[in-house]
Amino acid sequence: MLGTIRKFSSSIYSKVFLLIVAIPFIFWGMGDLFTGGNLNTIVKIGKDKIHKQEFINYLRMNSLTVEQLNDSSVIEKALFNFIGEMLILKEIEDMEIQLSDESLSNIIKNQELFKRENKFSRTEYEKFLIENNYNAIFFEQEILQREKKKQLFNFLGGGIVPSNFLINMSFDKANQKRNIEYINLNEVIKKRTNFSESDIQKYFDQNKDSFKEIYKSVNFLKLVPKNLTGTNEYNDLFFKKIDEIDDLIAEGNNLNSILEKFNLQSPKSITINKLGKNKDTKTNNILSKELLQKIFIIDDSEPTILAEHKNEYFIFELTKNEIIQNDINNKFVKDEIFLNLEKKIKRKLIVELIDKINNKKFKKKDFDDFANKYDISSVKIKLNNRNDDKILKRDMIDQIYSFGEKIVIVVTDISLSENYLIYIDSIENVSITKNSEEHKQHFLLSRDKIVSELYNTYDSYLKNKYKIDINYKALDSIKNYIR
């Protein structure tokens, strides 16, 4: 069945479907109109009241996991996406967009998935519906609605042809050459990070609590078909027993009683922190990061849980919580203090430089004086295009290409591990010929940009056209129902 779904998901039609499903959430976004009301209406769009059951059906169709449904923010985002869907359907209705039965039939018949010997096979079609638990009427209605959405967006953005000027702008933005000069700020920072023992002790004394670590001791057992059913197959009996164990845990049974009931072997024990290290600071590779996260949300009031990750099942039982104060003589503590003090200096230096640059108090002369002050040589390089990351990272190249010439800028990565002071000396603009291989690519990029801006305008139009009232009481009742 999974193979069949994958084939369908790779079809052209499915790609169109994914695009169109995503668009309404882009359109709608996070609204701010929240009101109360009776619990049956989840949202009011203009004069139309949308029953909360429609939203519940929408959640079911999107196959959200239990963890996602327990997250309030996920449900709220799903609601905004749902509202976007409703708005688009109202627009389709207002514009009287139609699709004939013949057109619908042709769309289905042209899917490779439903063909046998290069011809549409009713048998293959019905097999697909049965294997994926689809009702034919519902499935065809979904295709009908999605095709109408496609027509709506084609109506909005179809036929747009960008000018040669815009195509050249797109090409130049990606391919212009830049001559730059840079100073590696990490070399400057090294000269300013001669920390004394008193500096380290002072930081430790002021931040002692941040060097406390929680260690959790748990007993755990991996559940596999062999120890539950005596075979190696993940069959119905195995999953039936998994469900039974889940029910027993929900009823308050502990690990030992479950082991006895199912005649399972003794569990393993582990004491570990959230980084996966034991008390000897050695990394424990028995459990994945995802399972470690599940362990660290176990509560003392409900110490036993059934956890699933990548189709593997585990029973965990919390036996002990410990908070340990690490000593300043611990190598890892000293290393962390050094890194934190170094980051503090980095941030201060970067903020000072950016402040001077923003106030137009840091020109090329200041750039040269800065290098001389710290006895550091600047480096001159030529960037051949926006993808030229032989020396600097791509995200830094993107920052450089966001500014004009004859200016000084600071570029850093998100972790402040690489930091540069950069002078953009000159920019060599380039143009594209109509017959070149890249012309089509930048034609499409330019067109997509125009269409995106058009969709943003359409977004504003929809928000002004329809009054949206969201019933928070009904939304809360759905959240409580799901939990």
Say whether both 9 and 146 belong to one domain: yes
Dump pLDDT digits (tens) for 59-113.
Answer: 877 766 666 666 677 888 888 888 888 888 888 888 888 888 888 888 888 888 8
User: How much is the pLDDT for 65?
Assistant: 64
Say whether both 189 and 224 belong to one domain: no
First to last CA, the chain: 29
Residue showing tokens 């700020």: 185
User: How much is the pLDDT for 138?
Assistant: 79
Say whether both 350 and 298 belong to one domain: no
Q: Is residue 167 part of a domain?
A: no
Closest-CA residue to 132 (of 29, 63, 48): 63
Q: Is residue 437 part of a domain?
A: no
Is pLDDT at 350 greater than 90 in this prediction? yes
User: How much is the pLDDT for 38?
Assistant: 65
Taking residues 452-457, report their average pLDDT: 80
Say whether both 297 and 357 belong to one domain: no
Q: Which of 322, 347, 363 is the last residue of a domain?
A: 322
Taking residues 122-150, report their average pLDDT: 82
CA 150 to chain centre: 25
Band the pLDDT of 481: cuts 50, 70, 90. Answer: low
Say whether both 112 and 15 belong to one domain: yes
User: How much is the pLDDT for 30?
Assistant: 38
Dump pLDDT digits (tens) for 314-324.
Answer: 999 999 988 88
Say whether both 225 and 284 belong to one domain: yes
Say whether both 139 and 263 belong to one domain: no
Q: Is residue 435 part of a domain?
A: no
Band the pLDDT of 367: cuts 50, 70, 90. Answer: very high
Say whether both 17 and 153 belong to one domain: yes
Q: Is residue 241 part of a domain?
A: yes
Q: Is residue 166 part of a domain?
A: no
Q: Is residue 441 part of a domain?
A: no
Q: Which of 295, 322, 349 is the last residue of a domain?
A: 322
Say whether both 86 and 27 belong to one domain: yes
- CATH number for the domain including 155? 1.10.4030
Dump pLDDT digits (tens) for 242-295.
Answer: 899 999 998 899 999 999 888 888 898 888 888 777 777 677 677 888 888 888
Say whether both 191 and 276 belong to one domain: no
User: How much is the pLDDT for 27?
Assistant: 42
Taking residues 298-326, report their average pLDDT: 87
| Domain span holding position 386 | 173-196+332-428
Asked which of 58-62, 157-161, 190-194 is least confident by mean pLDDT, the reply is: 58-62
Say whether both 296 and 340 belong to one domain: no
User: How much is the pLDDT for 64?
Assistant: 64
Domain count within the chain: 3
Q: Is residue 164 part of a domain?
A: no
Is pLDDT at 369 greater than 80 in this prediction? yes
Q: Chain-wide mean pLDDT for the chain?
A: 82
Q: Which of 322, 343, 375 is the last residue of a domain?
A: 322
Say whether both 468 and 413 belong to one domain: no
Q: Is residue 129 part of a domain?
A: yes
